[in-house]
Structure 1
Amino acid sequence: MRQLRWILTTAVLCGANAWAATPMPMSPANGSSPSGIDPAGIDHSVKPGDDFFRYANGDWLKTAQIPADRSSTGTFLKVFEQAEKDTAELIRNAGSSHPAAGSSARKIADYYAAWMDTTAIEQHGLTPLKPELAQIDAIASRQDLAQVLGSRLRADVDPVNATNFHTENLFGLFVAQGLQDPSRNIAYLLQGGLGMPSRDYYLSDDPHMAAFRAKYQTYVTALLKQAGIADAEAKAKTVIDLETKIAKAQESLVDSQDVHKANNLWRVTDFAQKAPGLDWATYFKAAGLDGQPQIDAWQPVAITGLSALTVSEPLQAWKDLLVFHTLDHGAALLPQAYADLSFDFYGRTLQGTPAQQPRWKRAVGATNVDLGDAVGQLYVKHYFPASSKAAVQQLVKNLIAAFNDRIDTLSWMTPATRQKAKAKLVTLRVGVGYPEAWRDYDSLEIRANDPLGNHLHAEKFEYAHQLAKLSQPVDRGEWWMTPQTVNAVNLPLQNALNFPAAILQPPFFDPTADAAANYGAIGAIIGHEISHSFDNTGAEFDAEGRLANWWTPADLAHFKAAGQQLVHQFDQYQALPGLHVNGEQTLGENIADVSGLTIAYLAYHKSLDGKPAPVIGGLSGDQRFFLAFGQAWRSKIRDDALRQRLSTDVHAPADFRAQTVRNIDAWYTAFDVKSGEKLYLDPKDRVKIW
């Protein structure tokens, strides 16, 4: 399901798992200087032209420690850690004034309190899951199976939080405007059905993946045994065998990114013919989709293959799978033994994280996911003043102006394409800080003594919200991130950008800092998101978000050739011994990094208004600009977590994203990079798209 989300909602960073940040002073005490960069983190023993990431961050890397409860650390985590503290304070204080029953503040307080009540959780045992388990036990026919599968369809709406995927459901739902008809919302049906992060974990010959499969068998067995299920070992083998067949039926991440392969509007009555096996009439009725005239089958080959499995595989195998997925999905809010088993596999084994996060951190994270806008309103009130919003809006205007100027100077672009590009830029809708309209949680039932029930209610509430969009006008102002999210997103279908309040904080943005640092950090991020509207996916959508390539054949050929240069460049990067970055899989994000950095640099110089940049701390303006970019991608990650991201993420690892500078001519001048140094590219090999 994540494949479609990354195409239709393209975030600057995946897996940040972060929501909020409070303003931090730019001072030597927190690793910054008046220049807006961290001079102490620079490793002067490394030539910038050999490894810019380690030049910018090498001394920091030597001493940086990944927290025991994290799979990585770096700039984004620095902001996130402050977020945990401040967001937790907002959530804990939500009930201090004894808010009225049913109010958002009451729901926030009750949701958090229930999550923290471990005594009640132990007492409840599996009771919160008994209705679901009984429903599975009652499956006696293929029609029953279709009804249960349909009733469990959930919406995939979170562009950031990997813990909120619903891949364990056989299919997933995404609701947005149509690819060819931007005037109405449609439902997109997506592949799912796996307990591990991606199909590679089941099918890859890599020895590490084989080891993960063996440990997964141990986990599935242990979880079933913990629930008192007989023949747990045999049932675990059945579950994994079925998931392996599901993985074989799924389409790859690269194929799933091809929007043209995904443009498959099927009438509801067509599914039985095009994807025989599943009782689709029963399934769609149970899912509340039976009244839809058409549904987009995003991965048609996978949907056909998954449907066939519902009849080719024994009914009992499906029941075993559903029981495991039900336990697995609820494990964090079941008694501690279940939560420990889940963390041991998904945290320690798959990501190499030694320690589970303290419960308050997990409770804060869950509250932010399930009551995101309610917490977001509190966050904006406390931590995002109007002055910050105005400053960022001005910076955005400068970047858009620079992009517009750049379009005028592209020698390879024909007038017809240039006109279309400008039309798309003019209509680009940029949201800064928070949405214009907040979500209403009045109908969401939250109880102070039912943590798992609260989460399940929240999932159904979100699903109902998404279904309701199918009968409503398209909302071009819709936000896909909460204000307390440390990230940013481009929405090709809406031709819109969201920059949540939380990322608009130091060290990414500080209205009192030097312009070079602001443009190199948040400016490159904003430029990244703007350029997504013109990358290999964005170029497929016109100004109204309609699937319609607006390039002339000659321009498209140039664009694709430049993209292939970038594919080759990133294919060369070895992230782990024998394991390289997939340049095709990460192409859209890499294009956005190159283009965003290019535009941010031009906008920075435009902001100087013809005046020379000051030298601060012995560094020129250009040096500070590029260092701010390199330090924004400061990161240290555990090997197993990196392996997972290489398999599931459309973003290249952070250290290679920092090396994007090698495509910018000005970087060579700023750091006197010479031929023969490892990052040096001949001018003809430097990728220039925008």
Structure 2
Amino acid sequence: MKQLYFVRCATMSATMLGLLAGTAQAQTKIKTKSSGAGKAKTTVAVPTSGTGLSLANLDKSVSPCDNFYQYTSGSWLKNNPIPAAETSWGSFNTLADNNRTILRRILNQAAANRTAKPGSNAQKVGDFYGAAMDTVAIEAAGLKYLQPHLAKIEAVTDLAGMQQLLNDPKSHVGNSWYGFGVLQDLKQNDVYMAFFNQAGLGLPDRDYYVKDDARSKGIRTAYQAYLTNTFKLLGDAPATAEKNAATVLRIETRLAQASRTRVAMRDIPAMYNKRTLAQLAQDYPNINFPLILKINGLTAAKDLVVAQPEFAKEVNTMLVAEPLADQKTYLRWHLVTSATPALPKAYVDEAFRFSQVLSGAKQQQPRWKRAQAATDGALGEAFGQLYVDEAFSPEAKARAKVMVENLRAAYAERIQATDWMSATTKAAALKKLNAFTVKIGYPDKWKDYSKLNVSRESYLNNLFAAQEFAGQENLNKYGKPVDRTEWTMTPPTVNAYYNALVNEIVFPAGILQPPFYDPKADDAVNYGGIGAVIGHEMTHGFDDQGRRFDAQGNMKDWWTKEDADKFNTKAAVVSKQFDAFTPLDSVHVNGALTMGENLADLGGLTIAYQAFLKTPQAKAGKSIDGFTPQQRFFLGYAQIWRTNMRPEAMRMRVQTDPHSPGQFRANGPLQNLPEFHQAFGCKDGDKMVRSAEARAKIW
């Protein structure tokens, strides 16, 4: 988490942050008394009839001890096929769709308001969304607003010109060659560091370029067709377009071969390669790090972190070995792909045809959804304020805060009860737990968009202006105090995250909605839903990556060697379990890639259940709709992972996503929990019961 569902990175520094940032109970009346972290208690009036769970979603032809995921959601999965414009459909999607209904109304009102004060958030939101929806203007403009950027690429005549262009914040050459940005120093997180990272690929992952199986070859063939057709749209003759497509694929393949795998990228200490500017100038003269820092206004920087030195070495070689004309072809491609959403329909349709090969989607998302997502990315906190006014009350925020503190208290109990941690490591773990900063719903301080200029003239210009704004906002952090009020997700986002660098857990208002959190539901359903999400984010502070950071958020080893070895042994059990899961024939989950998320799911479920047992509902033991409180807890947990997914999207997810497919996020942790087995009367030998010696237990 890392994030709970998807990893979303808007800037270069967020690429690293995405590796470190992991990503509510219902009650009629609440009384809260708090005397410090972990001390909150609640008094809850428990509903007497079932809400939050629909019995119609169950598939009672399946035993809960055979396949609990199918038992919980089998009928829902059958009755909710994937919409043509989607690659998957589940709890996250339905909640996001509900949120979009609210957002669409807000954005339509903003776009219709042509009298908003110039420079106001209302004007910027309305004009950004309005320009994105104005397909007539986009078609009429053609490549008018892209041509100045294409001309910049064409004007490059030598290495010096290429170096200048690559670091020009107004060049918009997309994800080409490498990434650069500013991030908190991993070992001294009260200051910022400059950061260089591998990038430059058009396909989802480096493995798409290097694997020789039939599917990978087929995707590369389709990618080359996409390249060729796009170059034709730009005006290249057919033979030239084919040659240019082959050039781009060759350069990207070379970059891919020098890139680290996603599993290797999980080794955070191995990416902390700090070098002095003098060393960088000597080792990578063709990249020209002094120029990078100068153009980006970081002249005070005396050093820089190179996350993958071997990748930097290859880029340094390629910048002189690759013909300049080929490099310019490569940049043309990345410029166009960064601009595609704002280009005429032919470009968008070409991109979608290729995305179908990767994801299996049958139709494009309607334009309003694409425009809405773009507006959220550019100005999410500007209209997010209106969203929370409508969808997230102060009372809901207060109730969620109470639940977080209940889980923090339960986590402390679990840490203290572990039989494998020494007293020294336990004390450090408790210190970190109690130091968690909790952010719920929306920021206390909203983002200032005053320096972002937006108009109705050109969606492409707005898109590029938003990219420049975000990039400059990131660079401006260097040399300033760390802003610990900042959010990396907007309020409507259906997600959550843990940020190791500031030791915080964050829950946007977008996810604090049914089925994750339902104010009308009983505690069992809410603790199984959002409670497990909260526990998941907390556990990221102690997973295989988060455990490397201390209570202050600095990368520091606070474990004894013996305890670290024991943790790694226990984590390896989880990795082995997930390696064996096969969502499709011959396709296995990668236990190493999904390690952090699987550990967080197991820990989050365990902690949420411990916290739930302290509620009046759990203590009363009264059944609702024929299910005990304990059974309703596990039903509430499993229902949040229900997902139908296209085979193409499933293959891509298994290859690139650090999150396991939904059915394994439901069943995987439960197979290890005696509490679940007891709740449903599962016995040794049942598929949902792992043998005692094969079970995973950490917290």
| TM-score range normalised by the length of the shorter chain | over 0.9
Q: Kindly state the Cα deviation for residue 240 of structure 1 after the two structures are TM-superposed.
A: 0.5
* Mean Cα deviation higher: 45-54 or 646-655: 45-54
Task: Give the letter for the 1:129 counterpart.
Answer: L
User: Given that residues 277 and 307 in structure 1 are in contact (C-alpha distance below 8 angstroms), is that contact kept between their aligned partners in structure 2?
Assistant: yes
Matched residue SS, 2:671: helix
RMSD after superposition: 1.7
Name the structure 2 match of 1:523: 531
2: CA distance between counterparts of 1:411 and 1:264?
A: 36
* 2:128 equivalent to 1:121: no
Q: Kindly state the Cα deviation for residue 683 of structure 1 after the two structures are TM-superposed.
A: 2.0
Give 1:11-22 correspondences, 5 Å limit: 11=23
Q: Kindly state the Cα deviation for residue 290 of structure 1 after the two structures are TM-superposed.
A: 4.2
Query: In structure 2, do the counterparts of structure 1 residues 403 and 167 end up closer, same or farther at CA, with 3 Å as the change threshold?
Result: farther
Give 1:212-223 correspondences, 5 Å limit: 212-223=219-230
- Which residue of the other structure, out of 324, 335, 339, is the alignment partner of 1:330? 339
User: Given that residues 150 and 285 in structure 1 are in contact (C-alpha distance below 8 angstroms), is that contact kept between their aligned partners in structure 2?
Assistant: no
Q: Kindly state the Cα deviation for residue 167 of structure 1 after the two structures are TM-superposed.
A: 7.1
The C-alpha deviation readout for 1:34-86, integer Å capped at 9, x for no partner, is: 24222211112222222221121112222221111111000011101111111
Task: Give the letter for the 1:236 counterpart.
Answer: A
* 2:57 equivalent to 1:41: yes
Task: Give the letter for the 2:90 counterpart.
Answer: G
* 2:124 equivalent to 1:107: yes
- Which residue of the other structure, out of 317, 321, 324, is the alignment partner of 2:330? 321
Name the structure 2 match of 1:21: none
Name the structure 1 match of 2:511: 503
- Which residue of the other structure, out of 260, 263, 285, is the alignment partner of 2:269? 260
* Mean Cα deviation higher: 563-572 or 115-124: 115-124
User: Given that residues 580 and 589 in structure 2 are in contact (C-alpha distance below 8 angstroms), is that contact kept between their aligned partners in structure 1?
Assistant: yes
- Which residue of the other structure, out of 233, 248, 266, is the alignment partner of 1:239? 248
Task: Give the letter for the 1:229 counterpart.
Answer: D
Name the structure 2 match of 1:675: 684
* 2:589 equivalent to 1:581: yes
Name the structure 2 match of 1:301: 310
2: CA distance between counterparts of 1:187 and 1:282?
A: 13
Matched residue SS, 2:515: coil
* 2:30 equivalent to 1:7: no
1: CA distance between counterparts of 2:358 and 2:299?
A: 38
User: Given that residues 154 and 173 in structure 1 are in contact (C-alpha distance below 8 angstroms), is that contact kept between their aligned partners in structure 2?
Assistant: no
Name the structure 1 match of 2:199: 192
Task: Give the letter for the 1:139 counterpart.
Answer: V
Q: Kindly state the Cα deviation for residue 609 of structure 1 after the two structures are TM-superposed.
A: 7.8
Q: Kindly state the Cα deviation for residue 152 of structure 1 after the two structures are TM-superposed.
A: 5.0
* 2:321 equivalent to 1:312: yes
1: CA distance between counterparts of 2:493 and 2:548?
A: 28
Query: In structure 2, do the counterparts of structure 1 residues 167 and 61 end up closer, same or farther at CA, with 3 Å as the change threshold?
Result: farther
The C-alpha deviation readout for 1:352-397, integer Å capped at 9, x for no partner, is: 1010111111111111111011011111122211000001000111
2: CA distance between counterparts of 1:286 and 1:132?
A: 18
Name the structure 1 match of 2:209: 202
The C-alpha deviation readout for 1:498-551, integer Å capped at 9, x for no partner, is: 100111011111122110000000000000001101111111000111111211
Query: In structure 2, do the counterparts of structure 1 residues 198 and 133 end up closer, same or farther at CA, with 3 Å as the change threshold?
Result: same
**TM-score of the two chains, using structure 2 as the length reference:** 0.92
2: CA distance between counterparts of 1:501 and 1:591?
A: 25
Task: Give the letter for the 2:232 counterpart.
Answer: K
* 2:94 equivalent to 1:86: no
Task: Give the letter for the 1:205 counterpart.
Answer: D
Task: Give the letter for the 1:559 counterpart.
Answer: F
Q: Kindly state the Cα deviation for residue 137 of structure 1 after the two structures are TM-superposed.
A: 0.3
* 2:67 equivalent to 1:54: no
Task: Give the letter for the 1:249 counterpart.
Answer: A
Give 1:590-601 correspondences, 5 Å limit: 590-601=598-609
Matched residue SS, 1:310: helix
Matched residue SS, 1:575: coil
Q: Kindly state the Cα deviation for residue 95 of structure 1 after the two structures are TM-superposed.
A: 4.9
User: Given that residues 535 and 607 in structure 2 are in contact (C-alpha distance below 8 angstroms), is that contact kept between their aligned partners in structure 1?
Assistant: yes
User: Given that residues 111 and 446 in structure 1 are in contact (C-alpha distance below 8 angstroms), is that contact kept between their aligned partners in structure 2?
Assistant: yes
Name the structure 1 match of 2:29: none
2: CA distance between counterparts of 1:290 and 1:226?
A: 41
Name the structure 2 match of 1:411: 419
Query: In structure 2, do the counterparts of structure 1 residues 274 and 652 end up closer, same or farther at CA, with 3 Å as the change threshold?
Result: farther
Task: Give the letter for the 2:16 counterpart.
Answer: L
Query: In structure 2, do the counterparts of structure 1 residues 671 and 174 end up closer, same or farther at CA, with 3 Å as the change threshold?
Result: farther
Task: Give the letter for the 2:241 counterpart.
Answer: A
1: CA distance between counterparts of 2:286 and 2:581?
A: 43
Q: Kindly state the Cα deviation for residue 217 of structure 1 after the two structures are TM-superposed.
A: 0.5
Superposition misfits of 4+ residues, deviation over 4 angstroms: 152-155
Give 1:261-300 correspondences, 5 Å limit: 261-300=270-309
2: CA distance between counterparts of 1:548 and 1:35?
A: 45
* Mean Cα deviation higher: 172-181 or 646-655: 172-181
2: CA distance between counterparts of 1:5 and 1:571?
A: 26
2: CA distance between counterparts of 1:290 and 1:515?
A: 54
Name the structure 2 match of 1:65: 81
Give 1:500-649 correspondences, 5 Å limit: 500-608=508-616, 611-649=619-657
Name the structure 2 match of 1:163: none
1: CA distance between counterparts of 2:446 and 2:514?
A: 26
The C-alpha deviation readout for 1:603-644, integer Å capped at 9, x for no partner, is: 000123872222011111111111111110010111111111
Task: Give the letter for the 1:426 counterpart.
Answer: N
Name the structure 2 match of 1:177: 184
Matched residue SS, 1:497: strand
2: CA distance between counterparts of 1:151 and 1:44?
A: 60
1: CA distance between counterparts of 2:255 and 2:643?
A: 34
Name the structure 2 match of 1:23: none
Q: Kindly state the Cα deviation for residue 350 of structure 1 after the two structures are TM-superposed.
A: 1.1
- Which residue of the other structure, out of 147, 151, 157, is the alignment partner of 1:130? 147
* Mean Cα deviation higher: 589-598 or 56-65: 56-65
2: CA distance between counterparts of 1:605 and 1:428?
A: 23
* 2:382 equivalent to 1:374: yes
Name the structure 2 match of 1:27: none
User: Given that residues 227 and 245 in structure 2 are in contact (C-alpha distance below 8 angstroms), is that contact kept between their aligned partners in structure 1?
Assistant: yes
User: Given that residues 331 and 338 in structure 1 are in contact (C-alpha distance below 8 angstroms), is that contact kept between their aligned partners in structure 2?
Assistant: yes
2: CA distance between counterparts of 1:397 and 1:387?
A: 16
Matched residue SS, 2:620: coil
Name the structure 2 match of 1:16: none
User: Given that residues 410 and 607 in structure 2 are in contact (C-alpha distance below 8 angstroms), is that contact kept between their aligned partners in structure 1?
Assistant: yes
Name the structure 2 match of 1:392: 400
Task: Give the letter for the 2:541 counterpart.
Answer: S
User: Given that residues 500 and 541 in structure 2 are in contact (C-alpha distance below 8 angstroms), is that contact kept between their aligned partners in structure 1?
Assistant: yes
Identity score, percent: 40
User: Given that residues 487 and 500 in structure 1 are in contact (C-alpha distance below 8 angstroms), is that contact kept between their aligned partners in structure 2?
Assistant: yes
- Which residue of the other structure, out of 441, 444, 458, is the alignment partner of 1:450? 458
1: CA distance between counterparts of 2:402 and 2:185?
A: 32
Name the structure 2 match of 1:480: 488
Matched residue SS, 1:128: coil
Aligned length: 658
Matched residue SS, 1:296: strand
User: Given that residues 404 and 422 in structure 1 are in contact (C-alpha distance below 8 angstroms), is that contact kept between their aligned partners in structure 2?
Assistant: yes
Name the structure 2 match of 1:428: 436
Bigger relative contact order, structure 1 or 2 (CA pairs below 8 A, ≥6 apart) = 2
* Mean Cα deviation higher: 297-306 or 541-550: 297-306
The C-alpha deviation readout for 1:393-440, integer Å capped at 9, x for no partner, is: 001110001001111111211110011011111111000111111111
Task: Give the letter for the 1:6 counterpart.
Answer: G
1: CA distance between counterparts of 2:315 and 2:170?
A: 14
Matched residue SS, 1:210: helix
User: Given that residues 359 and 649 in structure 2 are in contact (C-alpha distance below 8 angstroms), is that contact kept between their aligned partners in structure 1?
Assistant: yes
Task: Give the letter for the 1:495 counterpart.
Answer: N
Name the structure 1 match of 2:348: 339
1: CA distance between counterparts of 2:190 and 2:370?
A: 39
Name the structure 2 match of 1:168: 175
Matched residue SS, 1:579: coil
The C-alpha deviation readout for 1:122-176, integer Å capped at 9, x for no partner, is: 1111111112111110111111111111225999xxxxxxxxxx97222223433
